[in-house]
Amino acid sequence: MGAFLLRRLILAIPVLFGILLVTFILGRLIPGDPCRALLGEKATAQTCDAYLKRKGLDQPLPTQFIVYLTNVLRGDLGDSFRYSRPVVDLLAERLPVTFELTLMASIFAVIIGIPLGIISAYRYNSALDVGTMVGANIGVSMPVFWLGLLLAYLFGVVLKGTPFALPPAGRLTAGAVPLPFYTLWGWVKDGQTPSNILVFLAQLNLLNGLLTGNLALVGDAFRHLILPAVAVGTIPLAIIARMTRSSVLETLGQDYVRTARAKGLYEFRVVTRHALRNALLPVVTVIGLNFGGLIAGAVLTETIFGFTGIGKTLFDGITARDYSLVQGITLVTAIAFVFINLFVDALYSFLDPRIRLG
C-alpha cells in the first residue's frame, strides 16, 4: 500500500507541475500591464517599476516561473489586493467552509443515491424505478444555483413557522461567535496569531463545536448546512443513483448471485454482500470524478447562502479583478482534485482485492 501510494505520488508530480505551469501562464495572460492591473490605473511609472522589481516581474519569463514555483512551494500565493492580505491566510480561513459543505454534500449524495440506485435496480421497471430515473434525469439537468435559490425560498419563506423551516442564509445564527478550540485549550494566547492549520481546523464549525463541547453550536451549524448541501449534492446524487442502478442491474444477472440465492441466503444479504459489493467499483469512480462538480457547485451555491467559503471569495475576487486571489484558488482546488483522485484510486484496491496495486 505504502509503495503504491508513493509511486502514485511520484506520478502525480508531472501533473502538479503542469498545473503550476498553467496557472502561471494564466496569470501572465492578464491583458495589459500587470502592474496597472494589480495596482490600479493611477499607479505612476515609478511605483510600477518598483513594484515590478519587488515582485520579480521585470525578469525574463522562465526566471519568473522559477520565482513563482519557489514562492508556491514556500506557501506564498501572493497578496490579495482586495483584502490586502496574503492569499494563503484567506484560504486557511475560507477553504474549511467549502470543505465542510462539499463533504456534507457528498455524504448526502452517497447515503441517498446508493440505496435509491439499489432499490431501482432491484425493482427494475417498477413505478419506483421509473420515478427514480425520471428524477435522476431532471436532477442532472438542474442548475445548482437555481436549486439553491428555490430551496432557500421553500424552506426560508414558504415553510417559515413550521417545524420544517430551515435557515436560508449564513453558516450560524446571526450573532453566534464560536470560540475556537485553540483559545479554549490555551494553545494560542490572546493577541497571538494562530497558525494557518489551527485556523483551518477551527473554521470547521462541526469539528470545532465537538472539540469545544458546544453541542448547540454543532446543531446550529448542521441546520445551516442542510440546504446548501442538498443543493450541491443533488447532481452527484442523481449521477450516483443512475450509476448504482445500472451497475447493480448488471451484477444481479450474474451467475454467482443465482448461486447465492440457491444457497438459500437471505435476499438482503444477496443484494448487499454479493451484488452491491461487486457493483460498487464504477460507483466509486463516479463519486471520485464528481468532486470537480462538487467544487463547482460549491462555488455557485456559497454566494446564494452567504457562506464565505472559497466560492464566495472567488466570486468577490472576480468582481474585484483580484487576479492573485483567483489564481490561488484555482491552483489550490486543482491540487486538491489531484489528491482526491489519488485517494479514489487507493480505495479501488480496498473494494476489489483483485486489482493489484501498482
Partner 1 sequence: MDTAQPAAISLRPPREKVAIKPISIRNTVAICILLTMLVRLALIGLTALLDIVPAFGSINAPFKLLNSLTYLVALPAGIAIFLYDRTRGGALIETVTALFRKRVGTIGFVIVTTLVLAGDFAPQIATHDPILSMIGQPGEVGRLPGKAPCTAAFGCVEPQHYLGLDLNARDMFSRIIYGARTSIPIGIASVAFAITIGTLLGLLAGYIGGWFDNLIMRFMDVLLAFPSLLLAITIVTIQGPGLSNALLAIAIVSIPVYARLSRASVLSVKELEYITAERALGAAPRTIVFQQILPNILTPLIVQGTLGIGGAVLDAAALSFLGLGAQPPTPEWGQMLSEARNYVFTAPHLVFFPGFAIMLTVLGFNLLGDGLRDALDPRLNRN
Told to check if 278 binds partner 1 by CB under 8 A, we report no
Which grid coordinates are listed for 68?
513563482
Give the CA angle between residues 348, 351, 357 to the nearest 5°.
45
Q: Report d(CA 293, CA 98) in Å as an integer.
A: 13
What residue ranges in the chain does DSSP mark as E strands? 79-80, 85-86
Instruction: State the minimum distance, in angstroms, from the CB of residue 190 to partner 1.
Output: 38
Beta bridge partners of 79: 86
Q: Report d(CA 241, CA 108) in Å as an integer.
A: 12
Residue in the block written with cell 489564481: 327
Residue in the block written with cell 496557472: 23
Residues 157-216 that bind partner 1 (CB under 8 A): 157, 168
Told to check if 343 binds partner 1 by CB under 8 A, we report no
Told to check if 150 binds partner 1 by CB under 8 A, we report yes
Q: List the end-to-end C-alpha distance of the chain, in Å, as a whole number.
A: 9
Told to check if 71 binds partner 1 by CB under 8 A, we report no
Told to check if 321 binds partner 1 by CB under 8 A, we report yes
Residues 119-138 that bind partner 1 (CB under 8 A): 133, 137-138
What three-state secondary structure class fits 79? strand
> Quick one: which segment of 23-31, 38-46, 188-196, 210-218 binds partner 1 (CB under 8 A)?
23-31
Told to check if 330 binds partner 1 by CB under 8 A, we report yes
**In this chain, which of 6, 9, 13, 18 binds partner 1, going by CB under 8 A?**
18
Instruction: State the minimum distance, in angstroms, from the CB of residue 209 to partner 1.
Output: 29
Told to check if 118 binds partner 1 by CB under 8 A, we report no
Residues 214-233 that bind partner 1 (CB under 8 A): none
> Quick one: which segment of 52-60, 184-192, 264-272, 293-301 binds partner 1 (CB under 8 A)?
293-301
**In this chain, which of 64, 71, 246, 254 binds partner 1, going by CB under 8 A?**
246
The answer to whether the beta carbons of residues 148 and 228 sit under 8 Å apart is: yes
